[in-house]
Structure 1
């Protein structure tokens, strides 16, 4: 056998092993995520709140308690987090919103939100339905590839 064929076989074997490893790692991560989501849903409470402001900020700039920042992994501190500043009862709180509902949260309006600790998992309009966010036009690469 020639050296090129042996090298090709070794590279293919490494690629197959990497795909198998990633597959099982993804299954394990999905299982963990489902367990965490079940725990969040179990501890959730519906609360009336007035949304003051919402932004995507880094963890250090978010205004969250230092204990929360210390508990987050190092790589997650670099990512931007959807932060919502809201008046819950008489006090103003800084909460973290779910990425999927962040665009639905209206600013300067009163909403009923499902809150689990400092995490907002669902939002409903207190006086009528919430407005749907406008669809963003596709970016340059999305148009090139034909995605919608």
Structure 2
């Protein structure tokens, strides 16, 4: 990432809620950022399989931002009521409508194309905003048992 042109988030962080993480990232920060997300999500009340699923979903989003979204991105993580939320933004060329509309599991013989599908499967909710100037994806997972 260029020092003279810092990456700026595409959206405004939620007002009034303390952010646990608000960080620009590139390829060199993916692993460290994944560990930070895991630690903060666990401290926010996620545990067990829900924690593992959430961290994997976030990892898919940040990896996609690096691979397909211009090589860098911006991550924000916060807790809102009984929900942990993560937003990942990039400045890539956007996601094709055909990819967004396809909710089916990618065939096993295809290379790639599983990141968005996995993130959707592993989180309670996913909202995607995308256009030719970039993409912002927000995922959320309820803290505790969502059925109880």
Normalising by structure 1, we get a TM-score of 0.29
Structure 1 or 2, whichever has the larger Rg, is 1
Q: TM-score, length-normalised on structure 2?
A: 0.29
More relative contact order, 1 or 2 (CA 8 Å, 6+ apart): 2
